Amino acid sequence: MTFREQPGIAQIPERQAFFRDSVVNACVSVSLGTPDLQELSITCPSGISIPVSTLKLFPNLRHANVQVGLVPGPILDPNAPFTILSNLSQSESELSSIYEALRSEPVPRLEHLEGLKLKWGIKTHAADVLSTMRLDGIRQLAVHTDRRLGQRFIFDMNQLTTQTSSNLTSIEILSYRQTIRCTTGGRLVEVFAPLLSRPQLREVRIELQPYNFSLPAADVAELGRAWPLLEKLHVSFRLRSRDILPTLHHTLISLSESCVLLQYLHLPGIATGIRLGPAPITLPSYPESKLQHISSDYLQCTHSAFDIAAALYTSFPRIVQAGPRLQLQASKWEPVNVFLQMMRHSSSLTAVQEAFSRLRLPGDRQISVSLYRMALYNGTLPNSTTYRHALEY
């Protein structure tokens, strides 16, 4: 069920109440017509909330995508008029029975949920959600919010993840609210400690833009050991400190050995490590590695972009992307990815190395961006001839 966005509805309480009653009424109608419904999707305009107990109308629900704010209370407000159900086809006596039942709190919790996606609102609380449904059978859990909820959101997410079981294979927790003030969250592995005992996890996406956490190399290694089946790890938030960052050498070796199925890696920050003289980055070779993507919000470089790309290219044969796919602003990953694409599409890495033998920071960024623009202009990735032209660009 999708209810179209209506401008200004959040500012008019009467319209909010009417819209909420309409959504509840539609849910009641669907539940009466399809009592064994197993999949439910509700999308409502911003500013609209419905009682979380509305979901109890569907006791056999297995997959729910609820993109509407959830608040405590019975399905119908005790003061709701009987006429709210007037559009239903049941007899008056049946409607009267339904009306009374909806004004009281349905008792049984949802028992069979396997997949759950929730929009977390200002008045949504973990205790109310957990009183409505059991999460010990959940395999996929996703929670999104665009509200500024502070420490309460972190506490609620801890409570939710605590109630999940070892069956959990996918977790997604997103907070998109951009603010100048940042809420301190502590160590990520402590806040989401319950997830460390979920060994079946294959996809983990935690994006908390209004929060800062710490995630040193040792904690990244701990995540890898906890999730041996991991295929995708995307963690993004503001760093409490950039003094101690996971390094390419330590982090990639640790995760490559702990998570042999890992294909996608994004961290809040990565450092290329300490540079000892002119020596390039050296990484062990992982010919069986499935890693295709590596990126971070912040990249601390002590090596040239060319050296970083060469290390990734020679160690991980399946890698196709270095840095975020969508970069809204200049990033140190951009030249790394340009070099990586050239290496992937060149017949010989030696040819690329010869072409850029004179290339070192900071000039590599300027030249790589020029190559990138030339590639866009030509509609193709640069070839070995273009490399040499770029040196004269």
pLDDT tier at 209, thresholds 50, 70, 90: confident
* pLDDT score of 132: 92
Give the residue among 172, 222, 215 at the shortest CA–CA distance from 199.
222
Full-model pTM: 0.83
Instruction: Return the structure tokens found at 180.
Output: 């100048």
Helix (H, G, I), strand (E, B) or coil at 293: strand
Mean pLDDT of 368-392: 44
The model's confidence at residue 384, banded by pLDDT at 50, 70 and 90, is: very low
Q: Give the pLDDT confidence of 119-154 residue by residue, as tens digits.
A: 999 999 999 999 999 999 999 999 999 888 888 999
Distance (Å, rounded) from C-alpha 366 to C-alpha 383?
18
Phi, psi of 229 (to 5 degrees): -95, 10
Helical axes 217-226 vs 248-258, angle rounded to 10°? 10
Q: What angle do CA 332, 334, 335 make, to 5 degrees?
A: 90
Model pLDDT for residues 23-70, shown as the tens digit of each residue: 887 888 888 788 899 999 999 887 788 889 889 889 899 999 999 989
Contact by Cβ (8 Å): 24, 76: yes
- Maximum distance among all Cα pairs of the chain, rounded to whole angstroms: 87
What's the half-sphere exposure (Cβ side, CA atoms, 13 Å) at 139?
A: 6
Q: What is the amino acid identity at position 220?
A: V
pLDDT, tens only, 213-229 = 989 899 999 999 999 99
Q: How confident is the model at residue 101 (pLDDT cuts 50, 70, 90)?
A: low
Q: Is the model more confident about 12 or about 269?
A: 269
The helix/strand/coil state of 291 is coil
pLDDT confidence bin for 100, thresholds 50/70/90: low
Strands (E), 3-76: 39-43, 49-51, 63-67, 69-71
Average pLDDT value for residue range 173-192? 82
Percent of the chain clearing pLDDT 70 (strictly above): 74
pLDDT exceeds cutoff 90 at 179 = no
